[in-house]
Structure 1
C-alpha cells in the first residue's frame, strides 16, 4: 500500500511566515480598495513567495498491513484443577486456538497463569498487564481469559484496547463448605482459656441435604481431637487451653459432606506460642553477701518474673537484747510460703541458705514433695553447704543432685563445661568458654575469669555440666519425680558480674539454669523441632540430644505417607537436616517418644478461600472493555470479527475487533517546485500585475499653450 501527503520544511519559523502572510493580506485589501486591476496576480505572487519560504513537498509512504493479535490467558492455578475444570480449560483453549488460526491476518498469543508466589492466589491482573506490555496496543484485537473468574488481583487489570472476554469454567450446580479462621491470638497463656473466632460457610448452590450443622474437630500438636457440632453461617468462639510453652500447632477440621467441591478448605491450621502468665520465683538468701545482688538483678530484669525475695538478716541464735519494738525487720512468713502457697511458685532459689532452725524440719519435707509434684529448686551453695547446716542434711537432701564432702576449696580455678556440658543446652555455646581440662588453648583466645571458692561435691546424680577446682563437679542438674533440682557448688558467680579477670557470662548462665529448672522448652536436653524458612516449604529439622548419635526422623505427610530423614551433627548435641516438603500442609515429625507437628505453607491457601466460579472479581474490567462472560458449561463459543464499538458478545459467540494496523516500509519525498522556481514564478506574476495595471490608465497629454 502507498499513501501521498504534503509536508513542509520552512526556512523561517512558522510565526514569521504567518506574519508575512498577514501583511500580504493587508496589502491585498488595500489593492482592492483602490481598485487596482492586477490585485489577483499580486496575491498569487505573494503566495508564491510564501511557498518558497515554506518549501512544500510531496511525501509518498509505502506500508504493509500488520496482523491482528488475540491474547489468550490460560488459568492453570490450583482452583482450576477442581472437578472437571481442567478438562473444560483444555477444550476451550484448543477450540479458541483453532478458530483464531482460521481467521485471516490474525495471530494468537497464549499466556499460562500459574499459582502466585507466596500464597498470592490467581494473579490474572498482573498477567494481563504483562501480556499487553509485550505487544503493540494498536494491534491487539481482543483478550480472552479461560478461568473460574476468581482473580485475586483484579484491581491490577489495565485499561483494555479491545474487548476482554471471560470464558468461565465450573458449573452452576457447584457448591462448597469452607472453614474460616477469623481471629486467632499469636500468644496464649499456658493453662488459661484462649478464644479463637471462626466461621463455617456454605457457598454456591447448596443442596438441602447439606444441613445447617457441621461437625468440627480441634487437635493440638496432633493429639487426641475434641469434637464440636457448630451451626453453619454463624460466627463462633471456641475455647482452647494450651498445655505447654513454645509453639502449639492447632488444627481445625470439618467433616466432609458429600457433593462439596473440595475438602481442601475444610481444614485450617494456626500456630500459637504458649507463654506463662507470670513466672513466680521465691528467692531466699541465707545471709547478705556480695553475690546476692547478682541474683536479684537477674530476676528483676525479666518483666515476666514476679520475684519474692527474703534475706535472713537476723538468725534465731542472734540474741543481743535489742527490744523487738526497735527492730525494723520483716518477719519471715514461713507457713504461708512453704505450706499454704508453695505450689504457686514456679521456682524456689536458696542462695547461701543454711539450716539454722528458721524453717521447721517438716517444711523441707513439703519442699521435697513440691519438687516431686513438678516444682523446681535451685541451690547456689556457699560454705554453709559443707557444714552441719547444709540443706543436704534436711529432707530436701533426698532430691539434691550431689553430696557435700565437707571441704571448702578456697583457691582460684577456671569454671569449665564438661564433655556433657558441651552438649547440654544450659551450658552449650556459652560465649568465651575455655577448653576442657588438658585440651590446648587457641592462641589469642580470651576466656572467662576465675572463681575463688568452691564447695567440694561427691556422688553426683544427674548431669554434671560444669567442673571447677581440681576437676570437681561445679554445676549439677537433675530431675526428681516430675520436678527439677539444680545445684551450683559456688557462691562466686558474682565475680564475673564485677569483671574479675575479664568476667564471664554470669547473667546468661544463671538465666539458663533458672529457666531449665522451670522447664522452658528451649532448654530441654532431648528436643525435636523444626525451623521453617519464611515463604517456602523448606524446613530445617533440629534434634537436640545428649547422645552421640540419633536415629533418622520419620516424617508423616498430609496424605499419610511417611519418609525417613537422616540427621547429621552440626554442633555438639545438635543434629540437623534440611528438607523440602512436596506440598503445603500439616507434617508430623517423630523420633521415638518425641513428636512435633509442623504447618507448612499458608494455614488456608488463598486458592481455596472461594472455590465457586464467578465473574464478579473481573466484572468492572469486562464492562469497561465492552467484553462479556461465557460459561464453558454451555460450550465453547465461536469467535467473530466485528467493527469497533459494536456489541462484542452474544448467544454462543464472542467478538474481536480488527485493528487494521500497518507498518511503513519506505518513504519518498519530492519538492513540488525548487526554491528558485517559486521566486521566478513570483517575479513573473509581479511583472504581469504591473503591466496589467499600466494598460488600465489613460495616457496623459500636456496642457495647451505649453
Structure 2
C-alpha cells in the first residue's frame, strides 16, 4: 500500500496565489492596526486556501514487477573469427547463471537477442537493441549487456538508453589483421591504355613489427597476377591496362600472414568497364556491285567506328584511254595503308577483292604478320575467289581457314546453321530472326542466295551453303582472327528478297567477334551474383565441359552442377552463396563472381574494439570490459548510480510496479472548512470586541 497527499485545486493556481497575496495584505493591515485577533484571522485564511487547494489522501495498491535485462549476442561473421564464438558461448552460460542468482533476490526477466550480419549492411546491433527497447516499458528496463567484438555498423542508431549499457568484448587485445584498401578506381577505362588505381595495404590492431613492405598482386580476368612490392600503410598508385572491352574484373590481393585474424579482407574485386576509344576499320572493295554498300552502311552506323573505305574503280589493266590528269579519283595509298599504318586498324575487310597487281606480295606478307600479332581479317568473296586471281593465291593463304576447289556453285539456296553454328555466339539464335516459319527439314525461314564458292574448310563452319558446303568459316590465327564468307550475296537479305534475313545482325556479330568483343567469345566462363546466389555460365563449342569448381570466399571448394540450357551454353547456380568474391575454374578458364560486397563489411576491420560502443556505455553509467580478463560479476545498483566497477557490472533496480487500485479520501470537505473558517472569524471578532 502506498499513500500520498495530492492536490486538485478548485481554482487555477494563479488565482490561488492572488488570494494568498490578498490574505497577507489583510494580515499586515490587522497587525498595523493592532488587532489582537490577527492570528485567528490568519488561521481562517489558511483554512480557506487549504480548502480551495483540494487536498486528498491518495492510496495506491501496487504490485512489484520484475526488472528486464536485455542480453544482446553478436552472431555476426566477424565474431566467429579465432576463438570468439567459444568466448561468446562461455560468456552466455556465465551470464545466465549470474542473472539467475540476481533473480532470486529481486525478480529479473531476461530477454536474449541474437544479431546476425546483413550482407553489405554489416552488423546492425544497436538497431536490434533499439527495436527491442521500443517494445518494452522503459521504466522496467534494468540495462543491456552486449556480448560483441565491438565491430558494429550502426553507431548512430541508438544514442541514449534508459538504463546502463554494459559491453563485454570478445577477441583479444593482441589481435591484428592486414587488409587491402582500394582508395580510387575508375569505373571506365579505354582499352589498351593504362589507367591508375590508388591502393593501400595496411595493418590493423597490434600488428607485429616487421619489414615495411608487402606484396600486392593484380590479376585481370583470371590472368596470371602481377606482383608489386608496396610500402605498408601508405597509398600507392599502380597502372592497369585493359585488353578487352566490356566488364573487366580486377582482383587485388596481398598474401595472408601468419597470425592475422582473417584473409577475407586481403583481396578486393574491382570492376572496370573497358571501352574502345575508336575502332578503326579498313574496307577495300573490288569492282562495284549491288552489295558494296552493305558493309559500309553497317560500319558507318556504329558511332565508335572510324571507317577507311577504298573501292578499286580503275585497276591497272583497265584501258579506257582517259588521261590520268583528267580523272578525279583518289590514288590508292597502298604503301601508307598496308606497310606503315596497318597495325593501327582493328579490322581489315576485303569485299569481293581480287588480285590485280595493285597490292604486291610484300603487302600481303605484312597483313599475315598483322593477323598473327592480333589483328582481324575478313574476306567476303565473290566468284573470283575460285579463280587464278583469288586472294588464296597470295601469301594470305597461310592464315585463311579455307581452300577453294575452283568450283562456283550457282543456284538458289537457303543458308543453314549446323550444330557448331548453333553453339557459336556469332550465329547462335539467328534462326529466331526469320520472316517466315522454318521449313520441315529445319531450314530457317530466310530468303535465298544464288551463288557460293566451293571450299574446303580448316576451321569451324558456322554456316553452310548449297550442298552443305562451308559458307561462313572462322579461325583463330596466332593472336588474331580470320573469317571467310564464301558468297557475295548477303546483300539480298538487306534488300528483303523473299523476305530477307538477319543480314545486319549476322554481319554485326561477325565484325565484333573479329574485333574480340567479349560477349561473342565462343569459349568463355562467366560468373555473376544474383540475390544471394552465384550464376555460373559456360559457353563452348564442344559437346561436354569439364567440371566447374567454385571456391567460396572462405576457401571451401565445391563442384557446380551444370545443365545445357541451349546448344553450347551451360548454366549452374549456387544457392545461399556466401558474401564475397567466388573463384570459378573450368579447365583452363577461370573467372570471379561477386556476391554482395566483394569485401563484406564484417571483414573490413575485424579487430575487436570498444571505441565504437564506448560512448554509449559511458553515457549510461555502464562500461566496456574484455572477456579474456574473465567474466565480471553482475549486481543490482540503485537507479542513477554508477553501474561499472573493477570486476563487476551493474544493472539498475528500477523498482517498477503495476498499479492495481487507486483510492482517494478528501481531506478538506467544503462545508467543514467553511464552518471552521467562519468559527475562527467569529472568535477573532469576539476577542477584539472585549
Instruction: Indicate the TM-score class for this superposition, using the shorter chain for normalisation.
Output: 0.7 to 0.9
Residues 581 and 496 of structure 1, relative CA distance in 2, 3 Å threshold? same
Report the counterpart of residue 530 of structure 2 in structure 1.
533
Displacement of 1:146:
1.9
Report the counterpart of residue 308 of structure 1 in structure 2.
308
1:612 counterpart = 2:607: yes
1:86 counterpart = 2:85: yes
Equivalent residues of 2:526, 2:591 under 8 A apart:
yes
Equivalent residues of 1:385, 1:404 under 8 A apart:
no
Q: Distance in 1 between matches of 2:69 and 2:162?
A: 11
1:110 counterpart = 2:112: yes
Equivalent residues of 1:100, 1:639 under 8 A apart:
yes
Displacement of 1:160:
1.0
SS in 2 for 1:422: helix
Q: Distance in 2 between matches of 1:420 and 1:83?
A: 52
Displacement of 1:591:
3.5
1:651 counterpart (646, 649, 672): 646
Displacement of 1:2:
5.1
Equivalent residues of 1:287, 1:311 under 8 A apart:
yes
> TM-score, normalised to structure 2's length?
0.82
SS in 2 for 1:265: coil
Displacement of 1:524:
2.5
Report the counterpart of residue 101 of structure 1 in structure 2.
100
Report the counterpart of residue 237 of structure 1 in structure 2.
237
Matches within 5 A, 1:169-568: 169-208=170-209, 210-221=210-221, 223-243=223-243, 248-274=248-274, 276-385=276-385, 388-397=388-397, 399-401=400-402, 403=404, 405-407=406-408, 409=410, 411=412, 413-430=413-430, 431-433=432-434, 438-439=440-441, 450-468=447-465, 473-499=470-496, 502-534=499-531, 536=532, 538-556=533-551, 562-568=557-563
Q: Distance in 1 between matches of 2:608 and 2:545?
A: 50
1:575 counterpart = 2:576: no
Residues 86 and 554 of structure 1, relative CA distance in 2, 3 Å threshold? closer
1:152 counterpart = 2:149: no
1:640 counterpart = 2:635: yes
Displacement of 1:276:
4.6
Q: Distance in 2 between matches of 1:197 and 1:105?
A: 58
Displacement of 1:386:
5.3
Q: Deviations over 1:478-498 (max 9, x none)?
A: 344543322224444444445
Report the counterpart of residue 626 of structure 2 in structure 1.
631
Equivalent residues of 1:124, 1:157 under 8 A apart:
no
Equivalent residues of 2:634, 2:650 under 8 A apart:
yes
Q: Distance in 1 between matches of 2:308 and 2:72?
A: 69
Residues 203 and 358 of structure 1, relative CA distance in 2, 3 Å threshold? same
Equivalent residues of 1:179, 1:268 under 8 A apart:
yes
Displacement of 1:514:
0.9
Q: Distance in 1 between matches of 2:108 and 2:236?
A: 56
Equivalent residues of 1:540, 1:577 under 8 A apart:
yes
Q: Distance in 1 between matches of 2:115 and 2:641?
A: 30
Q: Distance in 2 between matches of 1:567 and 1:191?
A: 34
SS in 1 for 2:613: helix
Residues 611 and 368 of structure 1, relative CA distance in 2, 3 Å threshold? closer
Displacement of 1:60:
5.6
Displacement of 1:360:
2.5
Report the counterpart of residue 163 of structure 2 in structure 1.
162
Equivalent residues of 1:2, 1:60 under 8 A apart:
yes
Residues 91 and 427 of structure 1, relative CA distance in 2, 3 Å threshold? same
Equivalent residues of 2:452, 2:465 under 8 A apart:
no
Q: Distance in 2 between matches of 1:516 and 1:18?
A: 92
Residues 101 and 283 of structure 1, relative CA distance in 2, 3 Å threshold? same
Displacement of 1:334:
1.0
Q: Deviations over 1:527-574 (max 9, x none)?
A: 22223325x2x2222222223333432345567764433422111221
Q: Any gaps of 5 or more consecutive residues in structure 1?
A: 34-39, 442-446, 696-706
Displacement of 1:57:
9.2
Displacement of 1:668:
5.9
C-alpha RMSD of the superposition: 4.6
SS in 1 for 2:612: helix
Residues 141 and 682 of structure 1, relative CA distance in 2, 3 Å threshold? closer
SS in 2 for 1:617: coil
Displacement of 1:428:
0.7
Displacement of 1:467:
3.6
